[in-house]
Structure 1
Amino acid sequence: MLRLLVLFLFIFNYTFSNDIEYLEITKPNSSNKKQILEKKHLSIDDLKKIAPSDEGNLDMDDSKIYQDIRVTDLLLSTTNMPKSVFKNQIFSLNLIADIQQDINLDLNLSMEKSPNLKWLNQKVEWQKNGGIFKTKLWFESNSTNIGNLKLNVLALRNGEVFQKASISPRLPKVKSVEDRLNYANIVADDLEIISYKTSKFDDKSNIMTIFLKTKNSNIASFYIENDEILKQGVSSIKGIYPDQSAYYFVVFKNDKTSLNFSYFNAKTKQFSDFSLDVKLEIDDLSTQTEINPLNDPFLIQKKFLIYFLAGILIFIFILSRNSTPLIFAILLIAYQIYSQNSYSTGVIKANTKVKILPIEKSTIFYISKNDENVKIFDENLDYYKIMVENGKVGWIEKSSLKIENN
């Protein structure tokens, strides 16, 4: 009996001492905790040592804590590249970037400069589907020797380069277009003249303003090859590729009786000719509807119609005592007031040069003597379209103006 008691006490003492030793080993002490917190990166085991046992279960898969990011290649490809185009004809391709995993990042696209190839839509919008990014790029060739195209894509994550790749797709063959007098350097599926008007520019020249619409073309390239033209340019371009509209301004001597030009139709593969008679109208540049946004020939009719409808709605409100007609009347009047002031205002500096066209070599027709209040209607690259205090409308460099309100 005594032997059994001694054996029991020995077994109990051995088991208890092992438990004490295990607890001393596993309990987090301040020195271990300090060493762990000084580490740059903490592992799950480190977190177990410093976190209390009732702070949640840390025995979870790492993918639930961190986004799964794998080291992969950025794969680039292109589709829908045409086999051939004409000189000055725009064309597109679809660029596909496959990052091979579905994570969030930003793509930065750039093109190595090519003197004979113009990248038209440099502000690209990517469409993301999983790990696949797609976008459409538009180009224009200004030579039959188009050279090479190299596209570079950087995949940025948290501002750091995560992946990068380049691609040099095979470009289409560029076919020449016959050089001829009055060619407008436009290849399009269609070009339509909506309206045009001719006015006196100065004592020796006139200016014609043409409102154009094109299909499948870069309307900014519109330039008539004719030495008799003194000044020309394109402004107020609207729309996105491939269909656009714009105003074309051309200055020529006042003895010219017609303006002739042609464009190359990509569908018929033939030139289409235009001849516009010069019919001088007795007004100046600022009274042209196309140039002066405040000069709307239907302005009086629009005002009458809006106020007439508002009056009817107010009359219905008085008879029915229903507030709905009154609300619509107030909205109509508010719209009329807003539409009359749909422009910005600003101040131009003294000695600001106001040009007839938004181009560097355009004729200067007005120079401000002092700081002057102006109305701002439009912008084109580095220029603003403004109206000065005397009612003249023209273009100034953006650096010459301070916008006050919209």
Structure 2
Amino acid sequence: MFKKIFILVILSILTSSIFAATEDNNTSVAAISEQTIVASYDELPIKLHKDQVFAVKIKVLGKLKSGVVLTYVCTNDIGIKQLNQNTSFNIQDDGSFILTLLYKVVAQKVRTPDIMVNFTGGNEKDANILEGRTYDIEEVPESPFSTGVLAQSMKINNKKIDKYDSSNNIIVLDISAKLANIEDFKIKNVAQQGINNIKQGRYESSILYYLVIPATQDTIEFQYFNTSTDQLETVAVKLDLSNIEDKVSTQTDLSPKSPDKALYVFIVVTLIATTLYAIYYFKRERIFLILIIVVIGAGFLFLFVPNEQAKIKKDCVVYLLPTESSTPFFKADIDTPVEKIKEADGYIKIKLKNGKIGWVRAECVSKN
């Protein structure tokens, strides 16, 4: 009898334990099924290089009702600069939400941020925290052709070549790149170069880049570090030297005055002198001979009178022609003295101290 009672007690204890375990398991499942959102990394770089631009993507899954709000907070990041400050979650075709954060490496030690994804709607609240990752920054291989740009891809959209002076050409390249520090683009061993315009998109950015090269050079080669293939990629640009617009007259045509002004003076002096001589021929009065000599002398003196002195303001860009789409060839680092030649359609033709001549917007010029 005692033995049967003992067995029944043991069975009762085991049964109670099984039911208790089942209840605990059901509670855990219910908690998971009622969880509002699940956030995870959709893209995170494996390694990083100095100056690299990269993306961190967060994917959120969950049943989000109307009126709910997804927000995020980033903390504890080190050695990176966020490039898209005011970004938010975007809904995808499959009902998920994607957050894309763009950063640039600015130090040797980097840690991506801890990201807290918050869900709020009515009386409901939930949050997921994704821990950041620490990186030891890797060096980019050295190359004499490197531009200092790191990108997933790069391409030349368009190019233009013009004559700069008697021995050089100026080239303008429309360059676009994906996830790139394209603002750092610079070709080594080129004295005159610069970026005229930068356009930043979500993933792709572009620049209008110009450089001055010898008139006989028919190829431009440079390299960028491809972050997808983890190696240097070479870009070669072929130039058609047979199809160059001659812009020499817009830059070096004053010596010491522009030919158009010299021609104008010559025509005026010739007309006046001819008229005075015709009068002298009929009247035979010496005064008209003296006037002819005075007019010719005044014409020569006028040719050597200096142009009006002025200055162009800091950051002013000098163009080859007086148009918005013209090629830039100089940017003033400081207020720069120039000679003012003439005005046309909101632009002023100026001469730099090095003898180059170009056009600037009228608002860039002030009195010396």
Task: Give the TM-score of the pair, scaled to structure 1.
Answer: 0.42
Name the TM-score, length of structure 2 as normaliser: 0.46
